[in-house]
A = this chain, B = another copy of it.
Amino acid sequence: MAKIKPGKNATKKDVITQKAASLFKKKGFSSSSMRELAEAVGVEAPSLYNHIGSKSELLQAICFKVANAFTSYLDETENTAGNIVVKLENIIRFHIQMMLNNFDEVYVANHEWKHLREPYLSNFLIQRRGYEKRLIVLMEDGIRVKEFKDNNPYVSVLTILSAVRGLEFWQQHKKNISSQVLEDDMVDHLLKGIIK
């Protein structure tokens, strides 16, 4: 009987959660069965319950890990002195890097949060709304000090967040474009546009 082999610094629960993220990304939360997850882990389905509480708990772990990562980075950035354009640029770069380095989890958090149960669903949405609000305030500050044009700040934030989210479609093209070009060109596009 193959036992779950956690790597360094990873509990068995972590291994299961990571495999769950990969599976949920591929098939969606509802279409993923615990039997499939068990197979990916190398174990029978009921054995998973020695390590986790429920299928739903896996989704919670994934979604809040991602949400907390973004919130933490924003905390840091806000407490930094300096130019607002640079702050925004750093946030955009952080989003891009999260998409590239933690693809499965970010994808699941973006697509499958809908299947969270209460009260986690509400908490997740509140946290995300709060995050957006803080970005909007940042935009408003930038407009006030004339670093940004006075476009509607909500539209700007929505455009930026959506654009970086779209990197989920970029996976197939990794070979043709370096991630540095991707990051730099997207930042440039979102800040300065594409018209010559």
Whether the Cβ atoms of A114 and B191 lie closer than 8 Å is no
Q: Closest approach, in angstroms, between the C-beta of A141 and any C-beta of chain B?
A: 13
Q: Closest approach, in angstroms, between the C-beta of A159 and any C-beta of chain B?
A: 5
- The segment from A14-22, A41-49, A65-73, A167-175 that touches chain B is A167-175
Return chain B residues, CB-CB under 8 Å to A114.
27-28
Quick check: is A53 within 8 A (CB to CB) of the other chain? no
Return chain B residues, CB-CB under 8 Å to A152.
177, 181-182, 185
Measured as residues with beta carbon below 8 angstroms from the partner, the interface class of chain A is 35 or more
Whether the Cβ atoms of A193 and B196 lie closer than 8 Å is no
Whether the Cβ atoms of B193 and A189 lie closer than 8 Å is yes
Given contacts A155-B189, A158-B166, A159-B190, contact A148 B196 (CB under 8 A): yes
Return chain B residues, CB-CB under 8 Å to A50.
none
Whether the Cβ atoms of B182 and A170 lie closer than 8 Å is no
Q: A186–B158 Cα gap in the complex (Å)?
A: 9
Return chain B residues, CB-CB under 8 Å to A182.
152, 155
Q: Closest approach, in angstroms, between the C-beta of A194 and any C-beta of chain B?
A: 5
Return chain B residues, CB-CB under 8 Å to A190.
159, 189, 193-194
Q: A178–B194 Cα gap in the complex (Å)?
A: 25
Q: A182–B156 Cα gap in the complex (Å)?
A: 9
B-contact bits for A107-145, CB 8 A (1 contact / 0 none):
000010011000000000000000000000000000000
Give A residues with C-beta under 8 Å from B. 27-31, 85, 111, 114-115, 146-149, 151-152, 154-156, 158-167, 169-170, 173, 176-177, 181-182, 185-186, 188-196
* 6 cross-chain pairs, A with B, having the tightest CB-CB distances, nearest first: A162-B166, A193-B193, A30-B30, A192-B193, A155-B185, A30-B31
Q: Show 16 A/B contacts (Cβ-Cβ < 8 Å), sorted by A.
A: A31-B115, A111-B111, A148-B194, A148-B196, A149-B195, A152-B182, A152-B185, A154-B173, A155-B177, A155-B186, A158-B169, A158-B170, A159-B166, A162-B167, A163-B163, A193-B193
